[in-house]
C-alpha cells in the first residue's frame, strides 16, 4: 500500500497521472526540469521538485536524480508514464531493490519483451505467430536467412522503437551497408547494437491489443486499436475498434495477446502489437510494457479507466472486473496534435502559444497540458494535444472529429491540424481501407501537388 506517488514524467501524461491519483485519494509529487517549471502538471501536483536542467539526459532520464528526489520527498511509488524511463530495466531494478513501488510491470516482464528478438522467441514458444525472420545478431547468418525468406526484409534494432535502428532492405547488396548503419544507430539510440531481421510486409495494418494483468495472474484484454495511420513508424491517428477487423480476427488477436501475457506472468497495463497482412493473417511484432499514448480510445470504448487500474494493480488490488464485462461501446478516434510543420517535413515548432481555443461538445475529449501563453520547450517530444472523438459508430466519431478540427485554434506555432483536416476528408480514410503505407503515399502526392501549384 502506498499513499504518495512520484510522477517521473511531463506533459499531458503527467497531468493524466496526477488526476487519477487525486481520484484515488493519493498525494502526488512531480519531478520536473527547468524547462517545465511553469507547466500545468507542476502547478497541480501536491509537491514539486526540480530534477535538473532542460535536457532530458540531465533531468527526466537522470536516474540518480530521480531516485534521490523520490527518497527526499518520501514518495512510496513512482509512475513513469510513457517514454523516458518507463521501460528502463535498470531504473525498475533500482526501484525494486530500494522498496519503491514501480507503477508498471516487473523488471523481468520488461526484459523479456524489451529485447525485440527475445520477444519474438518468447512469442513463438507459446504458439503466437511472428513474421518470418531471424533473431540472432550475426551478419553472415542474418543475410543467409534474408535470402531464404526473400527480399524485401527489414533490419531492426533488438532494443529499438520509434523507427530508429530500422531499415527496409531490397537486395543482398544493400544488406551489409544497412546492417552496419542500423547497428550504429542502435548503439547511439539504445546503448547496444543487437539487430534482427523480419520479412517486409507490403501493405499491412498495424493492430494492437491493450491488456492489463494483476499480481494474482488475472489478465484482461481489450478491443483492438488500429494504428496504421503513421509516418516513419510514428503513429499519428488511432481508432478503436479497427474498421478492418471482424469478430473472427478479433477473437484470434485476443487469444494470442492473452496467451503471451499469461506466458510471461505480465503485471500492469501493456500493449501487444501485431501486423495484419492483406489476407487477414496477424503476426506479433512487439509488446510495449507501459501505458501508451493512445490509451484514451480504449478507455472510451471499454468504459475502463486504464491509468487508475494500473495504479490499483501496482498497490496489490485485484482487478474488479472480468473479461465478459469488456464489450465494444461505440467508436473512438484519436489525433495526436504535434507542434510540427507538416508543410516543412514535419519540422518541430516550439514557441509561445499566443491563442488557444479547445473544442468541446458531445463526443469530444481533450488530453493536453498546454494553455494560452504557455511556451512549448524545444527539448522534448512534440505532442501537445490528444484530440479524441467518439460516437455510437465510426461515421459519428468521424463527423465529431471533423467538427473538432474546425473548432480548435492553436496560434503562435505550427501544428499538424491542417494535415488532419485533409486526412479526415480523404475517401481512403473515410472508407477505412488504409494500410501503414497509405499516409506516406498521401504525403508524397500532397507534396507533388504543392510543387505543381507553386510552379504555376
CA geometry: angle at 394 spanning 391 and 400, to 5°? 50
Tally DSSP H helices, then E strands, for the chain. Answer: 15, 24
Count of CB atoms situated within 10 Å of the CB of 60: 26
**Which residues have CB under 8 Å from 335's CB, separation 6+?**
236, 237, 386, 387, 388, 401, 405, 416, 420
**Which residues have CB under 8 Å from 43's CB, separation 6+?**
none
Would you say the C-alpha torsion 29, 14, 272, 366 has a positive or negative sign?
Answer: positive
The question of whether 251 is a catalytic residue gets the answer no
User: Which residue is associated with the grid cell 481555443?
Assistant: 357
Beta bridge partners of 5: 28, 77
**Which residues have CB under 8 Å from 206's CB, separation 6+?**
226, 227, 228, 230, 235, 273, 274, 275, 436
**16, 120, 225, 290: which one is catalytic?**
290
Residues with a known catalytic role = 290
Amino acid at each position: 500500500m502506498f499513499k504518495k506517488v512520484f510522477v517521473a514524467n511531463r506533459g499531458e501524461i503527467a497531468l493524466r497521472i496526477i488526476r487519477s491519483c487525486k481520484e484515488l485519494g493519493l498525494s502526488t509529487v512531480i519531478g520536473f526540469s527547468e524547462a517545465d517549471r511553469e507547466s500545468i502538471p507542476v502547478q497541480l501536483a501536491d509537491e514539486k521538485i526540480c530534477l535538473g536542467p532542460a535536457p532530458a539526459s540531465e533531468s527526466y532520464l537522470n536516474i540518480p536524480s530521480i531516485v534521490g528526489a523520490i527518497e527526499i520527498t518520501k514518495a512510496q511509488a513512482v509512475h513513469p508514464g510513457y517514454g523516458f524511463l518507463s521501460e528502463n530495466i535498470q531504473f525498475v531494478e533500482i526501484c525494486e531493490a530500494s522498496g519503491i513501488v514501480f507503477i508498471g510491470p516487473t523488471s523481468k516482464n520488461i526484459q523479456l519483451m524489451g529485447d525485440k528478438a527475445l520477444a519474438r522467441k518468447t512469442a513463438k514458444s507459446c504458439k503466437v505467430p511472428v513474421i518470418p525472420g531471424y533473431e540472432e545478431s550475426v551478419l553472415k547468418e542474418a543475410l543467409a536467412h534474408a535470402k531464404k525468406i526473400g527480399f524485401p526484409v527489414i533490419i531492426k534494432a533488438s532494443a529499438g522503437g520509434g523507427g530508429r535502428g530500422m531499415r527496409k532492405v531490397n537486395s543482398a547488396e544493400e544488406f551489409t551497408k544497412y546492417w552496419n548503419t542500423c547497428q550504429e544507430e542502435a548503439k547511439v539510440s539504445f546503448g547496444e547494437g543487437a539487430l534482427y531481421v523480419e520479412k517486409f510486409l507490403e501493405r499491412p495494418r498495424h493492430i494492437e491489443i491493450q491488456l492489463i494483468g494483476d499480481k494474482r495472474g488475472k489478465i484482461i484484454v481489450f478491443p483492438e486499436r488500429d494504428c496504421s495511420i503513421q509516418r516513419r513508424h510514428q503513429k499519428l491517428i488511432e481508432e478503436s475498434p479497427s474498421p478492418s477487423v471482424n469478430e473472427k480476427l478479433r477473437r484470434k488477436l485476443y487469444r494470442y495477446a492473452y496467451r503471451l501475457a499469461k506466458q510471461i506472468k505480465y503485471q500492469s497495463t501493456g500493449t501487444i502489437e501485431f501486423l495484419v497482412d492483406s489476407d487477414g493473417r496477424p503476426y506479433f511484432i512487439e509488446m510495449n510494457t507501459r501505458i501508451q499514448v493512445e490509451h484514451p480510445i480504449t478507455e472510451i470504448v471499454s468504459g475502463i479507466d486504464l491509468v487508475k487500474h494500473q495504479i490499483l494493480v501496482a498497490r496489490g488490488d485485484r482487478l474488479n472486473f472480468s473479461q465478459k464485462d469488456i464489450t465494444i461501446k461505440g467508436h473512438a478516434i484519436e489525433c495526436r496534435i504535434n507542434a510540427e510543420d507538416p508543410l516543412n517535413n514535419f519540422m518541430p515548432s516550439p514557441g509561445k502559444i499566443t491563442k488557444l481555443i479547445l473544442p468541446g461538445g458531445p463526443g469530444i475529449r481533450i488530453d493536453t497540458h498546454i494553455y494560452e501563453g504557455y511556451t512549448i520547450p524545444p527539448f522534448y517530444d512534440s505532442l501537445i494535444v490528444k484530440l479524441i472523438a467518439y460516437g455510437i459508430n465510426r461515421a459519428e466519431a468521424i463527423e465529431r472529429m471533423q467538427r473538432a478540427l474546425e473548432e480548435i485554434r492553436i496560434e503562435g506555432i505550427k501544428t499538424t491540424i491542417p494535415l488532419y483536416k485533409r486526412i479526415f476528408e480523404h475517401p481512403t480514410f473515410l472508407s477505412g481501407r488504409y494500410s501503414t503505407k497509405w499516409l506516406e503515399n498521401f504525403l508524397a502526392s500532397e507534396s507533388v501537388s504543392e510543387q505543381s501549384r507553386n510552379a504555376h
